[in-house]
Structure 1
């Protein structure tokens, strides 16, 4: 049987069963989907990379370079050398330094930079902390920028010479690039005022609608004295107070004086019962010493020849003035006389001139710091052959009368006329420092020696600065009979001061001295206008704290 041949199929004929390929639109669609998937995969990979980077960034690599230090209980002593801001110089460019200071101001610039003004006493320096990979983290910058003003910090960094002066810091040609910063002591309460506001010159504080800065009143300052004393002005003021007492000691030590320390509790009033503080003393009463006057004189009777003392003086006077306090520091001296009480007056004059010259020469920086807040004419005194201006009480009265003051009102020169006399002397003699000699006997204490030619006058003198008294002194009575007579004339019972009187019965050389108010000298030299600014923690009729 013959094979039957299968029929041929024409692929072009309708009804053929051969499969067709994907269309162009299908291919295009598939390409788009593939591209979309690829982009999604790339985006996911990039996101994963960013997440990994973010996670890595959140790991703080600077933790050991900042933060609060543990409470210092003297548990370690690494003996790391620290510097004072005042010693920073451009020559130290690139030097690693370590210092402890207060944060006077801080300012964040963006999230990667913090500027500080760091302060030590009268000196300040700019410091800069900048975020840097592997060195300073963002977390470190954020923490440092949150530090409160007046916090105490320990800073380590590199000293860098500045391209231009930094006006906001006393060290203007160097700044610190911080590598480490740790908190030593933070602020646990709200500051009563900023140290910057407390240090502003009065000329920067306008009144009326143009108020630029807050005025910090004196009472507010004194009520919060610890913060107030941090100002660079006050740091300089009390450096100068220290200088005055140091110069007082220095000069008198060179003149053969011995420093003594007398008791401040006494059994009787030194000068008059009206101005002493009475305190209970076991079953009786005692008095706070108005001065070391009696002890100084008794030391002379004991052959000490020349003595001085620096110590507290108490005055129970209800005087609420710019120059009175109930407790102040007295700079007192007493010395034996060879021939004339002017020996004492001349030694005191030389002492003041030594103080004035040394303050001007050695403490110019501190004086300039104070003047920035309290502008004042430079204190003037006379040098050379003419020397210090000296006049008698009568001559001083004549000057005031010539200036229009009634002579009848000048039995004593009161505070107002003292200032007036100071202005007259400044205009006429170009000096702020002068001496008045030969005061009326009725104005002086019972122990003052009368003038041998005119018993209404005394061998006594006062020293003045800017028209205000800063020293009162005299020759003292060393004869016990005359001393007892003058005691009774002043209403003092000699029996109430028997040990004092007995000292002169044992023989005592002629002697004289004087007492200086430390705070008053400081106030008038700097022209601070209120003695409370010259006292660390002032005491007056209305203030016993802080």
Structure 2
């Protein structure tokens, strides 16, 4: 049958009865530690701990069970080296040695090694004081001693070693899973992917400090795109109907506080509306519910969440509380949110001001508590109808003369916009809205903006031309994938969500 690598979960049971290479099984793993070396009459023995994908194996190699070359390799093993060990599980007594001869007191699977090969030798001078913990027997639990988040800078400086911890690697795999789930959902919803540029020629006036400028060819200046909305919307003018991009965006965030990244991942989509702006709300709602349910219920992702929970105890505790009448995420208006902050929490929350980060966090804590005025408790909800002075100038107003909806606007929605945010774990992760599609309305809104956008300027002509060609009624939303991962797993620092994070003070590794 030949030598094959056996899944680690089946390794002990899968070996055959003889030691021929043809009938052996092997395991590729990292050397986690050297447990003990011993010399007895006529036999030398080395016991070491192997690690693979969060699972541990106590491996034993004796001078009588291997050739001289293999034993010499075992004598010179270094921590973190990648090795291939050949083993078998029969006879069982080979694995169940007398307790007096066992140095390891753990419950790790015990492997008798018949051959060993170093696939990649780690340098012997790796840091002795590990800044990571894998959860092997005898390792201290960072959550019961020094808070794990307190080691974040050291961990990021040694990110490759840190990422070998299964709990940390699970974060990146869940990130990947969200990408997979979003693409699957959008494909089924008849969306098409559009690759939007990272280098753009426009910049929002008055927001220069938020954008990165890049020297370009022929003396030009380009900007790193903070959003793909402009180019996705132009695709609608080409009758693409329903388009999205999952891409890196750039913001010149001046703080290194664990909440801001200068480079992060966004899912942005736009589509032509059929009847009402609430189609945008419903789509965002359906997408988030689909992703979160899948993360909580599908074994592929549920097992990753359980793996992350060892170092991040909030992982797995996320509450998806849906409205019992509609089966959707709870929805409250902006003014209702402000009222809850005042009446339920006693905060000085003014309707004239945008929701601050502190107010979003307070709302998140309130609505996730057993005493939430909205039942059942939930870690995710939607706030709709933000006031016009808080939203961008080209967001569609909620007024009878503009609204495609025939129903009148009630007092709670007067002088507001067709816009919403989705709050997850006390933090905004989605912003969405309907946008102006009439070029006359857009032109007027641009000129009234403070500071104004000049629609005939070269950098804005392409965008204006898309509307002048006849833009359908449209809207969309942007989803911050990093914040979704952070909130779902209960991570204190958003840099935990990125294998190679970039913030105001970090450009390495």
Q: TM-score range by the shorter chain?
A: 0.7 to 0.9
Shift of 1:312: 0.4
Shift of 1:479: 1.1
Count of paired positions = 457
RCO higher in structure (CA 8 A, sep ≥6): 2
Give the whole-Å Cα distance in 1 for the aligned partners of 2:190 and 2:308: 34
Shift of 1:142: 5.7
Give the whole-Å Cα distance in 2 for the aligned partners of 1:532 and 1:399: 31
Is 1:125 aligned with 2:57?
A: yes
RMSD, aligned α-carbons: 2.7
Quickly say closer, same or farther: Cα 1:410–1:450, change in 2 above 3 A.
closer
Quickly say closer, same or farther: Cα 1:425–1:156, change in 2 above 3 A.
same
Shift of 1:243: 0.3
Is 1:205 aligned with 2:153?
A: no
Shift of 1:215: 8.8
- State the match for 2:312 in structure 1: 374
Q: How does 1:388-407 map to 2 (within 5 A)?
A: 388-402=329-343, 403-407=345-349
- State the match for 1:180 in structure 2: 115
Q: How does 1:271-286 map to 2 (within 5 A)?
A: 272-282=207-217, 283-286=219-222
Quickly say closer, same or farther: Cα 1:512–1:118, change in 2 above 3 A.
same
- State the match for 1:72 in structure 2: none
Report which of the two structures shows the higher radius of gyration computed on alpha carbons. Answer: 1
Give the whole-Å Cα distance in 2 for the aligned partners of 1:315 and 1:518: 15
- State the match for 1:333 in structure 2: 269
Quickly say closer, same or farther: Cα 1:93–1:351, change in 2 above 3 A.
farther
| Residue among 76, 84, 89 paired with 1:159 | 89
- State the match for 1:83 in structure 2: 6
- State the match for 1:446 in structure 2: 393
Q: How does 1:242-321 map to 2 (within 5 A)?
A: 242-269=176-203, 272-282=207-217, 283-321=219-257
TM-score (norm 2): 0.83
| Residue among 361, 364, 367 paired with 1:419 | 361
Q: Name the SS of the counterpart of 2:231 in structure 1.
A: helix
Quickly say closer, same or farther: Cα 1:472–1:139, change in 2 above 3 A.
same
Quickly say closer, same or farther: Cα 1:204–1:472, change in 2 above 3 A.
same
- State the match for 1:59 in structure 2: none
Quickly say closer, same or farther: Cα 1:163–1:487, change in 2 above 3 A.
farther
Q: Which runs of 5+ in 2 are unaligned?
A: 18-22, 98-103, 401-412
Q: Is the 8 A contact 1:130 1:136 kept in 2?
A: yes
Give the whole-Å Cα distance in 2 for the aligned partners of 1:267 and 1:418: 34
Q: Name the SS of the counterpart of 1:441 in structure 2.
A: coil
Is 1:149 aligned with 2:79?
A: yes
Quickly say closer, same or farther: Cα 1:423–1:150, change in 2 above 3 A.
same
- State the match for 2:172 in structure 1: 238
Q: Name the SS of the counterpart of 1:373 in structure 2.
A: coil
Shift of 1:130: 2.6
Give the whole-Å Cα distance in 2 for the aligned partners of 1:446 and 1:202: 48
Give the whole-Å Cα distance in 1 for the aligned partners of 2:390 and 2:9: 50
Shift of 1:317: 2.3
Shift of 1:216: 6.9
Deviation readout 1:475-530 (Å, 9 max, x if unpaired):
11111111122222332222231101110100111111111111111011000111
More helix by share: 1
Q: Which runs of 5+ in 1 are unaligned?
A: 1-78, 208-213
Deviation readout 1:310-334 (Å, 9 max, x if unpaired):
1100001213332210000111111
Shift of 1:361: 1.8
Deviation readout 1:362-381 (Å, 9 max, x if unpaired):
21211111111111160001
Deviation readout 1:407-439 (Å, 9 max, x if unpaired):
338611111111111111112031101000011
Quickly say closer, same or farther: Cα 1:509–1:97, change in 2 above 3 A.
same
| Residue among 422, 434, 446 paired with 1:475 | 434
Shift of 1:196: 5.1
Deviation readout 1:58-82 (Å, 9 max, x if unpaired):
xxxxxxxxxxxxxxxxxxxxx9532
Stretch deviating more after TM superposition (138-147 or 455-464):
138-147
Q: Name the SS of the counterpart of 2:309 in structure 1.
A: helix
Q: How does 1:477-516 map to 2 (within 5 A)?
A: 477-490=436-449, 491=451, 492-494=453-455, 495=457, 496-516=459-479
Is 1:99 aligned with 2:27?
A: yes
Q: Name the SS of the counterpart of 2:89 in structure 1.
A: strand
| Residue among 381, 388, 399 paired with 1:434 | 381
Give the whole-Å Cα distance in 2 for the aligned partners of 1:179 and 1:196: 31
